[in-house]
């Protein structure tokens, strides 16, 4: 009980400091605040002491904080010590670890990437290795976050990671030294044969702008060697969840005239509105630009895309973005905890708020208490870009050219769900320490792949087969014999057609297999292969290689 009392004291202190630092002292109705804090404390104490079952008083208090903040928005959260680590990675761009990323599925912890030059890479860990122990702790039933925390730690300390590997009869234990790992923001840079540059930014941590600058410089150097010029740049912000606001401003500044408005933030106090402008000379001032976005592009990604679109600096291609127009501030609390709180909204250069979800209305729909005392900003208004094109607030950034992500076929979905291509590539890697001389992915690879699928008992079940199977299950075996016979005939026809599905999708399957296999030997080659069926990338290329189309899209005037 003494331990719980101490934790209770700490949690109470956190609440008190949080109440002070989040602006309670600025509210004139001091009596109402005092009354409610007293009421909260009384309810907490009564339940903690008298509830029918014993309660973890610390967790109960944290649940109360989480419940209170849940009436606002999902970005206003209380962060304990473990959660603070992720935030530190974003603000510093570094963490102490061994250089691997892991994924959990069905209690299997699999290594999905191994960063070159770090401890895991030097020791020989591979994509596809399954982690079974970390420092003697069996990890099978542990949450992914707990396993990540076991692998991370203080720099220059040891960690033992035991893995199970395809082709190896016994587990392998790696003795690794944790080092400072720098998080990459720019994950791929590519120059096409027609001098179109491509840069993929996956996050906006502290070094993103510098990495982008280096990427652009490398592209320009590559075309200069050929005595030519960069014809255009594709900036890929798809699946980029964002990051730091100031980094987004710096990234956008690589393309905008110095002094251009990139974004404006405004909070409760209108006098504290702040406008962020480009403060540096653009690195690519006039080079044609296309920005790729999708529904998973959020926050800082949307700031960059919104500025490029509003100032008519480039063309936005893809699918509508996530729609996060809220800005958070981090407040340090006692006991190495933090409060991340939404303190402002951001507006693109044209003045639009791109926030998609109206949390004021959401609370009413969900039956939550109305803790917001004012109506939110109107989000669906129309605005104009520098060239007079119409753009709209709310609903994220809507691309100038809408090209949806390629839809997965049922065959691909089932192969991915059961990790068949991933597992086959692991087996291939275990049998081939290096790529065979003159290696080429062609139809020959489908023979061992088909054998592998049979060994794994993989059976492709089309949606038509699933419907017929459901029908058969509902038919009476005796009373509806004729229907049963016809249904079985139909099922047999569908099964024959299912076998043809592999042949119909042969070229696409070969591409998927090539990507996954090359990922274990040559990441850049694997990434280059991914462009083959990337419709959004090809649309961006078409725009940049067609100057008249680019100008028409940018001005809104047909030529």
Same domain flag for 322 and 421: no
Query: Is residue 241 scored above 70 in pLDDT?
Result: yes
Which sign does the torsion angle of CA 395, 399, 402, 405 carry?
negative
Q: Which residue, of 119, 152, 182, is where some domain finishes?
A: 182
Query: Is residue 469 scored above 50 in pLDDT?
Result: yes
Given the structure tokens 């609440």, which residue do they identify? 15
In a domain, 394, yes or no: yes
Same domain flag for 61 and 122: no
User: C-alpha angle with apex 340: 76 to 59, nearest 5 degrees?
Assistant: 80
Task: Supply φ then ψ for residue 417, to 5 degrees.
Answer: -60, -35
- Exposed/middle/buried for 336, CB within 10 Å: 0-12, 13-18, 19+? exposed
pLDDT of residue 11: 58
Same domain flag for 178 and 192: no
Query: Is residue 57 scored above 50 in pLDDT?
Result: yes
In a domain, 219, yes or no: yes
Q: 3-class DSSP state for residue 555? A: helix
pLDDT of residue 474: 67
In a domain, 538, yes or no: no
Q: Which residue, of 182, 200, 235, is where some domain finishes?
A: 182
162: its two tokens: 């035991």
What is the number of domains present in the chain?
4
pLDDT of residue 25: 47
In a domain, 558, yes or no: no
Select the more confidently predicted residue: 488 or 289: 289
Same domain flag for 295 and 432: no
In a domain, 307, yes or no: yes
Percent of the chain exceeding pLDDT 90 equals: 68
Q: Which residue, of 402, 424, 442, is where some domain finishes?
A: 402
Q: What is the CA radius of gyration of the chain?
A: 28
Query: Is residue 480 scored above 80 in pLDDT?
Result: no
Percent of the chain exceeding pLDDT 70 equals: 89
Same domain flag for 238 and 252: yes
Mean pLDDT of all residues belonging to the chain: 89
Same domain flag for 379 and 464: no
194-212, pLDDT tens digit by residue? 999 999 999 999 999 999 9
Same domain flag for 394 and 246: yes
Average pLDDT over residues 345-367: 86
Q: 3-class DSSP state for residue 556? A: coil
Q: How far is CA 269 from CA 274, 276, 342, 378, in A?
A: 11, 17, 13, 18
513-540, pLDDT tens digit by residue? 999 999 999 999 999 999 999 999 999 9
Average pLDDT over residues 413-429: 95
Average pLDDT over residues 488-492: 74
Select the more confidently predicted residue: 166 or 25: 166
CATH number for the domain that contains residue 118 = 2.30.42.10
Q: How far is CA 354 from CA 85, 235, 292, 395, 526, in A?
A: 29, 20, 17, 6, 35
In a domain, 79, yes or no: no
Query: Is residue 1 scored above 80 in pLDDT?
Result: no
Instruction: Write down the pTM of the prediction.
Output: 0.87
Which residues fall within 8 angstroms of residue 66, CB to CB, at 6 or more apart? Answer: 77, 78
Same domain flag for 148 and 36: no
Average pLDDT over residues 173-202: 96
Q: How far is CA 213 from CA 98, 201, 383, in A?
A: 27, 12, 31
Average pLDDT over residues 94-103: 94
4-32, pLDDT tens digit by residue? 555 555 555 555 555 554 444 444 567 77
Same domain flag for 109 and 48: no
> Which domain range does residue 123 map to?
94-182
Same domain flag for 447 and 376: no
In a domain, 103, yes or no: yes
pLDDT band at 89 (very low <50, low <70, confident <90, very high): confident
Same domain flag for 43 and 142: no
269-320, pLDDT tens digit by residue? 877 899 999 999 999 999 999 999 999 999 999 999 999 999 999 999 999 9
Instruction: Give the whole-angstrom CA distance, residue 92 versus residue 512.
Output: 35
Q: 3-class DSSP state for residue 319? A: coil
In a domain, 549, yes or no: no
pLDDT of residue 290: 98
Q: How far is CA 329 from CA 54, 323, 401, in A?
A: 36, 19, 34
Same domain flag for 287 and 380: yes
Query: Is residue 376 scored above 80 in pLDDT?
Result: no
């Amino acid at each position: 009980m003494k331990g719980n009392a101490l934790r209770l004291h700490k949690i109470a202190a956190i609440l008190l400091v949080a109440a002070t630092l989040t602006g309670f002292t600025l509210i004139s109705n001091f009596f109402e605040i005092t009354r409610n804090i007293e009421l909260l404390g009384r309810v907490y104490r009564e339940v903690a002491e008298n509830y029918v079952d014993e309660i973890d008083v610390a967790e109960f208090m944290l649940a109360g904080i989480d419940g209170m903040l849940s009436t606002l928005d999902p970005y206003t959260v209380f962060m304990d010590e473990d959660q603070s680590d992720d935030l530190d990675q974003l603000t510093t761009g570094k963490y102490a670890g061994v250089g691997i990323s892991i994924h959990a599925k069905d209690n299997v912890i699999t290594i999905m990437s191994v960063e070159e030059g770090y401890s895991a890479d030097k020791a020989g860990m591979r994509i596809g290795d399954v982690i079974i122990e970390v420092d003697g702790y069996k990890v099978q039933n542990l949450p992914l976050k707990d396993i990540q925390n076991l692998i991370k730690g203080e720099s220059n300390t040891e960690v033992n990671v035991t893995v199970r590997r395809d082709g190896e009869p016994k587990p392998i234990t790696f003795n690794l030294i944790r080092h400072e790992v720098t998080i990459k923001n720019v994950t791929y840079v590519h120059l096409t044969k027609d001098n179109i540059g491509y840069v993929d930014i996956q996050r906006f941590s502290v070094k993103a702008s510098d990495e982008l600058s280096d990427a652009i410089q490398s592209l320009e150097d590559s075309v200069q060697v050929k005595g030519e010029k960069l014809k255009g740049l594709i900036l890929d912000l798809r699946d980029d969840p964002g990051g730091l606001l100031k980094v987004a401003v710096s990234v956008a500044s690589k393309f905008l005239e110095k002094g251009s408005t990139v974004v404006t933030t405004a909070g409760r106090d209108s006098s504290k509105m702040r406008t962020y402008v480009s403060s540096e000379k653009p690195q690519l001032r006039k080079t044609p630009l296309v920005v790729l976005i999708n529904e998973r592009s959020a926050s800082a990604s949307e700031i960059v895309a919104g500025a490029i679109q509003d100032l008519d600096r480039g063309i936005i291609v893809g699918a509508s973005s996530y729609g996060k127009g809220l800005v958070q501030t981090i407040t340090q609390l006692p006991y190495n905890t933090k409060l991340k709180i939404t303190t402002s909204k951001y507006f693109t250069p044209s003045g639009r708020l791109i926030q998609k979800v109206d949390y004021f209305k959401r609370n009413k729909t969900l039956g939550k208490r109305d803790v917001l005392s004012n109506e939110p900003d109107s989000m669906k208004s129309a605005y104009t870009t520098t060239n007079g094109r119409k753009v709209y607030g709310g609903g994220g950034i809507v691309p100038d050219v809408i090209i949806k992500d390629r839809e997965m076929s049922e065959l691909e979905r089932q192969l991915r769900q059961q990790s068949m291509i991933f597992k086959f590539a692991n087996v291939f890697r275990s049998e081939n320490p290096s790529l065979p001389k003159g290696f080429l992915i062609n139809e020959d690879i489908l023979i061992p792949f088909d054998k592998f699928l049979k060994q794994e008992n993989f059976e492709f079940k089309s949606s038509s087969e699933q419907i017929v199977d459901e029908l058969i299950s509902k038919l009476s075996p005796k009373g509806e014999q004729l229907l049963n016979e016809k249904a079985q005939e139909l099922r047999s026809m569908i099964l024959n057609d299912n076998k043809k599905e592999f042949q119909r999708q042969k070229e696409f399957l070969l591409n998927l297999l090539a990507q996954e296999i090359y990922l274990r030997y040559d990441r850049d080659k694997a990434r280059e292969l991914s462009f083959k069926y990337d419709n959004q990338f090809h649309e961006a290329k078409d725009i940049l290689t067609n100057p008249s189309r680019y100008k028409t899209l940018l001005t809104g005037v047909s030529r």
